[in-house]
Homo-oligomer: A and B are copies of this chain.
Amino acid sequence: MKDILIKSLYRETKQYIGKEVKISGWVKTVRASKAFGFIEVNDGSFFKNVQIVFDEALENFSELGKLPISASIEVIGEVVETPGTKQPFEIKASKVTKVGNSSSDYPLQKKRHTFEYLRSIAHLRPRSNAFSAVFRVRSIAAYAVHKFFQEQGFVYVHTPIITASDCEGAGEMFRVTTLDMENLPKDEKGKIDYSQDFFGKSANLTVSGQLEGEIYALAFRNIYTFGPTFRAENSNTGRHASEFWMIEPEIAFADLADDMDLAEEMVKYIIKYVMENAPEEIEFFNSFIDKGLKDRLNNVLNSDFARISYTEAVELLKKADVEFKYPVEWGCNLQTEHERYITEKIYNKPVFVTDYPKDIKAFYMRINDDNKTVAAADLLVPGVGEIIGGSQREERLDVLEARIAELGLEKEDYWWYLELRKYGETKHAGFGLGFERMIMYLTGMSNIRDVIPFPRTPGSAEF
């Protein structure tokens, strides 16, 4: 007899009522009296448990009452409707078999644990309600990303993780090496000789797949990346991790307006897909993690995202009737307090802020005709602030070369990036979405460590 998944029992209850089924799963709770008992069992396929009713007719009745939490069992029984109770059905067991043991010191007993404690048992926390919900949502959201892009014919590109490219910029990067650390080879000048390292030169972990993504957009028109990226920043906040996943679409024959259209569509698609495919989980987050969650998500779905220029935004912030910690002047970076004021107080919906001063943005962004701003767009959302950063890319070879020179960068380091302009100058644009930030937005979880299965942060790379 084949197992039925608990998800199927919930999603297609009607077809199972009155039928005998077999399920396997882990014991969540057991209550037993003299003549009968209840087991809550979960098989991991669904957020909710199934209730098993068993009685003294079963030959192992007394053993069942003592089942340890998280033991594995197999249940055969009839699916019975239970109108008027919390769960729509239960299983009246004709046979319950313990197929795997557990231990009475199982750390996830019924009482509530702090998220901090649960992080220390990352091998068990996905079995808890909250983390089971988080990581199922993470999976469903990842699929939504792929579905959104693939259904429009975007090509998924695996950009490299290890890079010896000099043009990723001077972000804080992790070195990748196979040199014998206790016995490093030196060159004539007494410096470490990276020509003897694995890749024949110094290598790092990538901070972004964008530049390589552009290569593929200029071949396939519409592409996206979705892979891990790294920051060796020594900052211990709830919003930074050293290893996180990024989504970076890049579109050719497209300008900044097209880029914003795509970002808006994508954000709405992901939210809608997750709300439709993980309703129980979203309900849980809304009840126990973040009471305003559903309203906020629905508000995003039903809004036309606003679009204002950085210059306009600065004007509005200056006029604002609040005292900011960081004063606002044209030319400064917007802080989270500014971003949240714009999206929450001024608009109460997502807002694209466009055309930032070129001095606070990256070299590859397209210079506007005013020669002071670039065709960049950041998406700010209520509750968080910036969630997406994008731009039209500088496709004019001469302008890009001038910009590289102006910033004191080495033209030779950018040879292939420049050749993309020389051989087929094409208008193109793209953006980056930090996947974890999206998951935090979808779940209301406030620490990035709680939306990554095995978070990597300064001092911590366990499991």
Contacts and interface: CB of A to CB of B under 8 A. Distances in A.
Interface in A375-394: none
Contacts of A156: 138-139, 142-143
Given A5-B153, A70-B423, A182-B192, A453 B220 contact: no
B424 A26 contact: yes
A425 B126 contact: no
A420 B123 contact: yes
B178 A232 contact: yes
A331 interface: no
A262 interface: no
Interface string A424-463: 1111000000000000000000000000111010111111
Total copies of the chain: 2
B420 A200 contact: no
A44 B428 CA distance: 13
Interface in A145-192: 146, 150, 153-165, 172, 174-178, 181-182, 184, 191-192
Say which size band chain A's interface belongs to.
35 or more
B253 A199 contact: no
A424 B201 contact: no
A463 B426 contact: no
Interface in A84-141: 99-103, 106-107, 122-124, 126-127, 131-132, 135-136, 138-140
Given A136-B155, A252-B44, A102 B425 contact: yes
26 contacts: A7-B153, A26-B424, A44-B155, A123-B215, A123-B417, A126-B215, A127-B219, A127-B424, A135-B157, A138-B156, A143-B150, A160-B463, A161-B161, A161-B230, A162-B205, A162-B243, A165-B462, A165-B463, A182-B191, A198-B234, A199-B456, A203-B461, A212-B453, A212-B463, A215-B463, A416-B463
Interface of A: 3, 5, 7, 24-26, 43-45, 70-72, 99-103, 106-107, 122-124, 126-127, 131-132, 135-136, 138-140, 142-143, 146, 150, 153-165, 172, 174-178, 181-182, 184, 191-192, 198-201, 203, 205, 212, 215-222, 227-228, 230, 232, 234, 242-243, 245, 252-253, 395, 416-417, 419-420, 422-427, 452-454, 456, 458-463
